[in-house]
Structure 1
């Protein structure tokens, strides 16, 4: 697997924050029962993915922010495009958008938490040659 040089691209591709090569999740996001499974450490550089117990509790706030943004954008889109429909249309539309995106919201909130507060930075010495 080729390492990613850009930290932003490594985050978008859900790669290890130190080596930018190892994957953060063991299974694809479309795997319904296993989308949340993370290895204990990076398979390439052995970076431990949970720096302290309960580290990812903060990711709930990031995920909530993502969901709120989606809710606002969906609501504003409905308001302008559908001429302010009844409340049940808003609720059904937001649910129809957020529920299928839940695995991605979960993954990216965890990845953002690890990149922002994990205490590690990209180090090319840990990449495979």
Structure 2
């Protein structure tokens, strides 16, 4: 169990650091992003015991968020290639976007789940849960 001294004060920063939406201290994932177990989450926050899966199938909605992130990556890479690589052939676009999405898959997975939990999980920051 983690025994923190202070919580991250900003909700945005806590989201970026993949911390619990209620106490802003407990980690959302048990292993590093570059691990083969990058998808594993504890059942609840090790600090405040906030459940990380409010209902069965909760994270199905995160697929839509991940799709939005992937679309953003596609648009950004497409823009960069078009303007800075003088509009290369189609296979360059496809290969570059596919490689980029494969490389950042752990981040897409983690942040889509974190956004889902922060946006629809029903928990908001409450420093009282730090003392539990």
Normalising by structure 1, report the TM-score.
Answer: 0.96
Q: CA deviation at 1:97?
A: 1.4
For the residues of structure 2 that align with 1:7 and 1:84, how far apart are their CA atoms?
Answer: 40
Pick aligned residue for 1:114 from 113, 117, 125: 117
Match in the other structure for 2:38: 35
Pairing 1:10-89 to 2, within 5 Å after superposition: 10-31=14-35, 33-89=36-92
Question: 1:60: how far off?
Answer: 0.2
Supply the RMSD in Å over aligned alpha carbons. Answer: 1.1
Please give the TM-score of this superposition, normalised by the length of structure 2. Answer: 0.93
Runs of 4+ in 1 over 6 A off after TM superposition: none
- Report how far residue 115 of structure 1 moved: 0.3
List alignment gaps of at least 5 residues for structure 1. Answer: none
Separation of aligned partners in 1, 2:131 and 2:89: 56
Q: How much has 1:128 moved relative to structure 2?
A: 4.3
